[in-house]
Amino acid sequence: MAAKVNNEECTGCGICVDECPATAIELKNDKAKVDEAECTECGTCVDSCPNSAITME
């Protein structure tokens, strides 16, 4: 399991990049991208995204 970004919903605002305590998210081509090896599945990004673009799968 890891955080998964819905590219249709992501606006590239970068909030999740700043909020992720594991620094597992970066912006690539203006979309959030999760490094699954770094993701600890804490769910912080799920709660921080204003567009509900991240889910835990």
| Residues lying near ligand SF4 in the complex (CB under 6 A) | 5, 10-16, 32, 48-49, 51, 53-54
For 5, 29, 36, 38, the CA distances from 41, given in Å and listed in that order, are 13, 23, 9, 9
Instruction: Return d(Cα 2, Cα 35) in angstroms, integer.
Output: 8
Q: Which is nearer to ligand SF4, 10 or 39 (CB)?
A: 10
Q: How far is the CB of 39 from ligand SF4 (least distance, A)?
A: 13
Q: How far is the CB of 51 from ligand SF4 (least distance, A)?
A: 4
